Structure 1
Amino acid sequence: MVTNRDRSLLDLAFSWLLSKPEIPSVIAGATSAEQVRANSQASGWLLTKVELEEVDDLLSTSAN
């Protein structure tokens, strides 16, 4: 999914977390200016509804 859209795992994680109304904010650590930029850019990308469902399915499968 991530490689099909040329995105990183960070992008996927941010997008998934930001799509959840029960999660009011995403707090990401950064130890360099590059990490701050990456975090900022990741927050501007959205997964599609189908992609969100795929992630939810993967997570529910791995939890069992």
Structure 2
Amino acid sequence: MNKHQSYWKANLRLMAICLSIWFVVSFLFGIILVEPLNNFHLGGYKLGFWFAQQGSIYTFVALVFFYSSR
């Protein structure tokens, strides 16, 4: 495999991991698992609500910084 192919293979793998994490946090935690997560609280807010409103945004920003550092 040449240099360009190995770069894109690693890059696509990294993007798939980042998008999977974002999907889990924003869709699963924020929509699908919101009821069980609402039994817990974070900073006075229900955890399901927090993931839907703030957690997905914080995770996205963290993933952008993580991806850009690679």
- Fold equivalence (TM over 0.5): no
TM-score with structure 2 length normalisation? 0.26
More strand by share: 2
Rg larger in 1 or in 2?
Answer: 2
TM-score with structure 1 length normalisation? 0.27
Q: Which has the higher contact order (CA 8 A, sep 6+)?
A: 1
